[in-house]
């Protein structure tokens, strides 16, 4: 297997907790595994929690891990996710994917359904462009201008993008996301942004048979509420939409107690217990 051997080391993967069941946390664009820090202690009392950094993250030290041609679609990310789960020998896991990782989890679940018990999709979207009879949230001209801004002044773009995507009422979240965006190499950030914003995975959804929970904030700049409803209609597996009343793209950062309540209710555990019977 060569290149995939030791992928867990390169991607800073680690397991926290010692429950019978596993939950896999996959961060979104421009982030790293620290974006889960507010919820991992509660989850780790019931589950074995797998966290890792995607290869584009500024937290990954090997610059050769990310290849722009290979990762021009979500498919290779899904293959890496599968390789990680195989390396840790995880089966029938709960997968929690934020933003782009929600769609990556969907693709992986089609390829290897036995690896996934449930998908929890947070602020995920199969398509960001508006289209005939589809509201993705963005006109293509706005996205192309964004790519241009990334090339001309990356730091300025990172500051703007962080304030657009995170909850502006929570400066700490904006600051955390801006710092994390700036930790990426600019050419990698642009390449992954093109993969994310050019994706069209709408035809993927009706192949997803795994039960899904879609978690959507009431005001998420990149993902209109209609996208969550569209996904719920298209996904073949039993799917529900859970709303969290807040602004921004990071409910696990900005409303982590509400977020844990939703997840606990879906998975059937009490996230606020100080100890677990496992």
Q: Which residues are catalytic?
A: 99, 220, 249
Of the CA atoms within 13 Å of residue 266, those in its CB half-sphere come to 26
Helix (H, G, I), strand (E, B) or coil at 227: helix
CA distance 108 to 212: 13
Q: What share of the chain is helix, strand, coil (3-state, %, to 5)?
A: 45, 15, 35
Instruction: Report the sign of the C-alpha dihedral through residues 245, 248, 252, 256, in that order.
Output: negative
Cβ–Cβ < 8 Å for 49, 13:
no
CA distance 94 to 260: 14
CA distance 277 to 127: 42
Residue 112 vs residues 24, 107, 218: alpha-carbon distances, Å: 15, 9, 32
CA distance 238 to 97: 17
Question: 19 φ, ψ to 5°?
Answer: -70, 175
Longest dimension (CA), the chain: 54
């Amino acid at each position: 297997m060569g290149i995939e051997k030791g992928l867990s080391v390169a991607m800073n993967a680690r397991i926290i907790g010692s429950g019978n069941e596993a939950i896999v946390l996959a961060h979104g664009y421009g982030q790293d595994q620290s974006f889960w820090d507010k919820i991992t202690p509660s989850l780790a009392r019931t589950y074995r929690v797998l966290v890792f950094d995607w290869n584009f993250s500024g937290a990954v030290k090997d610059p050769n891990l990310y290849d722009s041609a290979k990762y021009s679609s979500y498919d290779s990310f899904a293959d890496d996710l599968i390789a990680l789960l195989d390396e840790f020998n995880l089966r029938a896991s709960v997968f929690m994917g934020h933003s782009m990782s929600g769609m990556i989890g969907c693709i992986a679940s089609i390829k290897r359904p036995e690896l996934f018990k449930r998908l929890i999709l947070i602020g995920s979207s199969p398509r960001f462009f508006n289209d005939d009879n589809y509201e993705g949230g963005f006109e293509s001209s706005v996205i192309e201008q964004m790519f241009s801004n990334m090339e001309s002044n990356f730091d300025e773009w990172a500051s703007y993008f962080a304030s657009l995507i995170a909850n502006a009422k929570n400066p700490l979240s904006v600051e955390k996301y801006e710092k994390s965006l700036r930790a990426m190499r600019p050419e990698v950030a642009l390449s992954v942004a093109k993969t994310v914003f050019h994706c069209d995975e709408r035809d993927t959804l009706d192949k997803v048979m795994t039960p899904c929970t879609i978690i959507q904030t009431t005001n998420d700049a990149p993902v209109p509420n209609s996208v969550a409803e569209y996904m719920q209609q298209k996904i073949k597996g039993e799917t529900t939409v859970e709303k969290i009343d807040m602004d921004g793209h990071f409910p696990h950062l900005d409303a982590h107690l509400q977020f844990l309540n939703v997840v606990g209710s879906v998975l059937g555990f009490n996230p606020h217990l100080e100890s677990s019977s496992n």
